[in-house]
């Protein structure tokens, strides 16, 4: 296998960190594993445009560096990739990049641009976090096209994890990716089911559209919402 061994050769921990995660796609792989373990094809779905060769190579490199572990159980077909504690420590880096991108590299969804519900949720949650509205804890359970996500705020910080929550959430949202887009960007709840106590549901409806308003109106019309 061709292994990317290109290093900077500097005494600088920033450079050394980038030797581990600075290759193309690496941080996006880590981003997708931050919400929970994934299979090879789960990652292929989210990383639209990556080739299996590159994904395979990145996973091997990240495993060598101790950031990712491949869980291969005997007698089980699937391989589940998950982050080590060192890998999970990269969460703040991803969050900062996400935060910077939201403020300085935002663009409305373009026609035909791949848009995965998981990334949209991450972005929407970050916008809510950035806008710093309510600081009350919250637990929102999303069911998007059969996949479950839990967006959770402890009052200080939001986190997004894949999988159904073990115990009941405040609000449960059932939607498709398309109807979720319409809800976030246009406030339309057509084809969406939102359940929960009135208070939490009201707060959810107030805050879920934050992403569409936190970006300036000057940028708002430079792109299309509909792929």
Describe the chain by its helix, strand, coil percentages, rounded to 5: 45, 20, 40
Is residue 108 at the binding interface for DNA, with CB under 7 A as the rule?
no
Phi, psi at residue 220, to the nearest 5°? -60, -30
CB of 105 to its own copies, least distance (A): 4
Q: In angstroms, rounded to a whole number, what is the distance separating the alpha carbons of residues 26 and 92?
A: 15
Q: Which one among 36, 37, 39, 159 touches DNA, defined by CB under 7 A?
A: 39
Handedness of CA 144, 147, 150, 151 (dihedral sign): negative
Is residue 147 at the binding interface for DNA, with CB under 7 A as the rule?
no
The CA–CA distances, whole Å, from 182 to 9, 37, 140, 158 equal 48, 28, 18, 22
Among its own copies, DNA, none, residue 119 binds (CB under 5-8 Å by kind):
its own copies
CB of 227 to its own copies, least distance (A): 8
Beta strands 171-175 and 138-144, pairing class? parallel
Q: In angstroms, rounded to a whole number, what is the distance separating the alpha carbons of residues 73 and 194?
A: 38
Q: Which one among 14, 17, 41, 89 touches DNA, defined by CB under 7 A?
A: 41
Among its own copies, DNA, none, residue 56 binds (CB under 5-8 Å by kind):
DNA
Please report, as ranges, the residues that interact with its own copies according to CB under 8 A. Answer: 6, 8-20, 22, 24, 27-28, 31, 48-49, 65-66, 86, 89-90, 92-94, 96-107, 109-110, 113-116, 119-120, 122-123, 126
Binding site for DNA (CB under 7 A): 1-2, 4-6, 23-25, 39-42, 49-54, 56-57, 59, 70, 77-80
């Amino acid at each position: 296998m061709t292994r990317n061994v290109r290093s900077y050769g500097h005494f600088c921990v920033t450079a050394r960190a980038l030797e581990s995660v600075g290759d193309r796609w690496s941080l996006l792989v880590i981003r997708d594993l931050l919400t929970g373990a994934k299979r090879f094809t789960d990652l292929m779905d989210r990383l639209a445009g990556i080739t299996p060769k590159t994904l395979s190579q990145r996973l091997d490199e990240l495993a060598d560096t101790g950031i990712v572990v491949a869980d291969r159980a005997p007698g089980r077909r699937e391989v589940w990739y998950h982050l080590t504690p060192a890998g999970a420590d990269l969460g703040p880096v991803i969050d900062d990049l996400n935060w910077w991108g939201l403020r300085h590299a935002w663009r409305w969804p373009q026609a035909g641009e791949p848009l995965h519900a998981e990334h949209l949720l991450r972005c929407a949650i970050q916008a809510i976090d950035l806008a710093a509205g309510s600081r009350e804890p919250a637990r929102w359970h999303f069911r998007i096209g059969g996949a479950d996500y839990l967006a959770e705020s402890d009052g200080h910080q939001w986190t997004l994890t894949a999988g159904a929550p073990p115990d009941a959430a405040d609000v449960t949202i059932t939607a498709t990716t398309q109807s979720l887009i319409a809800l976030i960007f246009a406030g339309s709840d057509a084809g969406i089911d939102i359940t929960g106590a009135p208070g939490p549901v009201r707060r959810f409806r107030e805050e879920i559209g934050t992403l569409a308003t936190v970006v300036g109106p000057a940028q708002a019309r430079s792109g299309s919402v509909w792929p």
